[in-house]
Structure 1
Amino acid sequence: MKSWIYLSIAILFELAGTTCTKLSNGFTNLSYSVLMLICYGCSISLLTIAVKGINLNIAYAVWSGLGTALIAIIGVVFFKESLNPSKIVFILWIILGVVGLNLTSK
């Protein structure tokens, strides 16, 4: 259970790091560039701790899949990025894939 908490926090840091990637404006905003590196470092560190108790293939699929789906939502909500029905379907496929991996690994 502790490993899943570490993984959840790792995902939050990954979301923060990816958001800072956008806000860094191609490394032209130093504070967001530094924050991005810190967030990614924390995310990978927590992912590393999480794989002590979760299979690597599951942990990485959850980390990357949910991170991708959630950052797509952040992009639409906060950065006014476009969203269309096919993007929604493919984001749902990512989430379905993560859920499927979790269900078949038990």
Structure 2
Amino acid sequence: MTNYLFLAIAIVSEVIATSALKAAEGFTQLVPSIIVAVGYASAFYFLSLTLKTIPVGIAYATWSGVGIVLVSLVGLLFLGQKIDLAGIVGMAMIVGGVLIVNLVSKTGGH
């Protein structure tokens, strides 16, 4: 179960880093730029730990799918971005795909 904890840390780190990119203003703002660098370094480190036990396709599908939804929520809640019905449906399909890959699929060997 530690492998999924590491994957969750990787995802949250990536979401924090991605969310700070706008504030970094092309890496001209020091504090947000540091958050971006540390966030991505942490994300890739913890992703690398998950790959010891989770197949790369499963880990990356989970990382990207959950990351898309979380970054969209950050945009909605904190950055004033809007999500329309088509966006909500699309993200629901992404979440459904991640759940199928992780809970039902036997192709990953997990």
Normalising by the smaller structure, the TM-score range is over 0.9
Q: Separation in 1 of the partners of 2:50 and 2:87?
A: 30
1:31-84 CA distance string (max 9 Å, x none):
111220111011001000011111111111111110111100110110010111
Q: Taking structure 1 as the reference length, what is the TM-score of the superposition? A: 0.94
Match of 2:60 in 1: 60
Output the amino acid matched with 2:18. Answer: T
Q: Separation in 2 of the partners of 1:49 and 1:43?
A: 10
Q: Taking structure 2 as the reference length, what is the TM-score of the superposition? A: 0.91
**Percent identity among equivalent residues?**
32
Q: Separation in 2 of the partners of 1:26 and 1:85?
A: 31
Structure 2 residue matching 1:58: 3-state secondary structure: helix
Match of 2:92 in 1: 92
Match of 2:105 in 1: 104
Match of 2:11 in 1: 11
Structure 2: gaps of 5 or more residues:
none
Q: How many residues align?
A: 106
Structure 1 residue matching 2:82: 3-state secondary structure: coil
